[in-house]
Amino acid sequence: MAESLPTSVEALTLQSTSQTSKFPACFPTLNPVDIYREHIAEELGKATGIEAETIYARLAWTSTLDKGDLNLPAAALRIKKNPIELCKELAEKYPPSDLVHPPTPAGPHLQFFFKAQPLASTVLGRVLTEKAAYGTNGNIGLKDTSDPSKGQKKIIVEFSSPNIAKPFHAGHLRSTIIGGFLANLHSVLGWDVLKMNYLGDWGKQYGLLANGFKYFGDEEALSKDPINHLFDVYVKVNEIVREHDKPIQELKDQIKAKKEKKEDVSALEAQLAPLVDASEDEKARRYFKSMEDGDPSAVALWRRFRDLSIAKYKQTYARLNIDFDVYSGESQVKAESMSNAYKAMEKAGVAEESDGAVIADFTKHGAKKLGKAIIVRKDGTPLYLTRDIGAIIERDEEYHFDKMIYVVAAQQDLHLAQLFKVTELMGRKDLADRCQHINFGMVHGMSTRKGTVKFLDDILRDVGEKMHEVMRKNQTKYEQVENPEQTADILGITAVMVQDMTGKRINGYDFNLEAMTSFEGDTGPYLQYAHARLCSMTRKSGLDVNELSSANFDLLTERHAVDLIRLLAQWPDVLLNTAKTLEPITVLSYLFRMTHMLSSSYDVLKVIGSEEEVKKARMGLYAAARQVLHNGMRVLGLSPVDRM
Q: Which residues are catalytic?
A: 166, 169, 172
CA gap 157, 402 in Å, rounded: 11
Give kind and range of the element (H or E) at residue 156: strand 154-158
- Among the listed residues 185, 162, 188, 193, the one whose alpha carbon sits nearest the alpha carbon of residue 585: 185
Residues 6+ away with beta carbon under 8 Å from 26: 34, 37, 38, 56
CA distances from 120 to 150, 554, 578, 594 (A): 36, 7, 25, 16
Residues 6+ away with beta carbon under 8 Å from 617: 551, 552, 553, 555, 556
SS3 429: helix
CA gap 19, 34 in Å, rounded: 13
CA gap 188, 136 in Å, rounded: 5
Residues 6+ away with beta carbon under 8 Å from 273: none
517 touches 470 (CB < 8 A): yes
Cα-to-chain-centroid distance, residue 603: 36
288 touches 206 (CB < 8 A): yes
Using CB atoms within 10 A of its CB, is residue 520 exposed (0-12), middle (13-18) or buried (19+)? Answer: exposed
275 touches 268 (CB < 8 A): no
Using CB atoms within 10 A of its CB, is residue 148 exposed (0-12), middle (13-18) or buried (19+)? Answer: middle
CA gap 577, 574 in Å, rounded: 5
CA gap 306, 551 in Å, rounded: 56
- Among the listed residues 486, 492, 505, 496, the one whose alpha carbon sits nearest the alpha carbon of residue 461: 492
CA gap 226, 455 in Å, rounded: 13
CA gap 55, 72 in Å, rounded: 8
Return the bridge partners of 573, or none.
Answer: none
* Backbone φ and ψ of 443, nearest 5°: -105, 135
CA distances from 288 to 213, 240, 491, 636 (A): 14, 18, 43, 40
CA gap 515, 636 in Å, rounded: 20
CA gap 187, 194 in Å, rounded: 10
